[in-house]
Amino acid sequence: MQLAKRLGAEMFGTFWLVLGGCGSAVLAATFPHVGIGLAGVSLAFGLTVLTMAYAIGHISGCHLNPAVSVGLTVAGRFPVRELVPYIVAQVIGATIGAFVLSVIANGAPGFDLVSSGFATNGFGEHSPGHYTLLAAFVCEVVMTFFFLFVILGATDSRAPSGFAPIAIGLCLTLIHLISIPVTNTSVNPARSTGPALFVGGAAVEQLWMFWLAPIIGAIIAGVVYPCLARSKK
């Protein structure tokens, strides 16, 4: 498959992740009387990955996440030369997704992009539960580690075929159920970047952590899983 087509798939897939996942948090989480709450937002993020994995997995691999691309590269599953183009496509898709979401959200009377939080990630006073930087950092590293660990395991040639998107989508759902109170859950630098660019301020100032911690977690998983899964000859 041509690189341009794979990049296009990554862009559309990450667009869908931000629109579906962040959109559920911004538009539906606390909607009067029928809000979907934390569990609903968690499921929405998982469903975006599950649906796109089936839709574009055969085109681009459905990374939708710079940390995933880095982790797969470290594990020897993805070529280094394509890492930067994939990350650029993912960030572009996330930004477009955040833009479309902002247009929709601003259609509601009294909606304010900044005061709503716009599903941005944060620590300290910008954490939903006011968790410290250390707690948030550890949470993002560990959650991303396990996300990549599940991805590497579910897509292993020895794993049952056809079920990887389900395992990966449910893993992301579980991650959100655990960590939304801590950081609003990133585990994905592109997902964090898109909304932050529209909110500005602290969302952008704290963005470094939501690049660094997920990438560290992904790198560790990219090293650990192959060591654990390697068969003796």
Residue 189's CB: how many other CB atoms inside 10 A?
30
More confident residue, 233 or 112: 112
Task: Tell me the two tokens of residue 117.
Answer: 């939080």
**pLDDT (mean) for 16-41:** 89
**How many CA within 13 A on the CB side of residue 72?**
26
Average pLDDT over residues 195-204: 96
Please report the pLDDT score of residue 32 as a whole number: 67
Give this prediction's pTM.
0.94
CATH number of 3-228: 1.20.1080.10
pLDDT on residue 1: 75
Which residue ranges make up each domain of the chain?
3-228
Average pLDDT, the chain: 95
The pLDDT value given to residue 68: 98
pLDDT beyond 60 at 35: yes
Q: Is the pLDDT of residue 233 over 60?
A: no
Which residue, among 87, 56, 209, 207, has the nearest Cα to 139 in the 3D structure?
A: 209
Residue 94 CA: distances (Å) to CA of 32, 45, 59, 78, 200 = 27, 13, 19, 21, 15
Q: Which comes out higher in pLDDT, residue 31 or 139?
A: 139
Q: What is the length of the chain? A: 233
Write out pLDDT tens, residues 123-171: 999 999 999 999 999 999 999 999 999 999 999 999 988 899 999 999 9
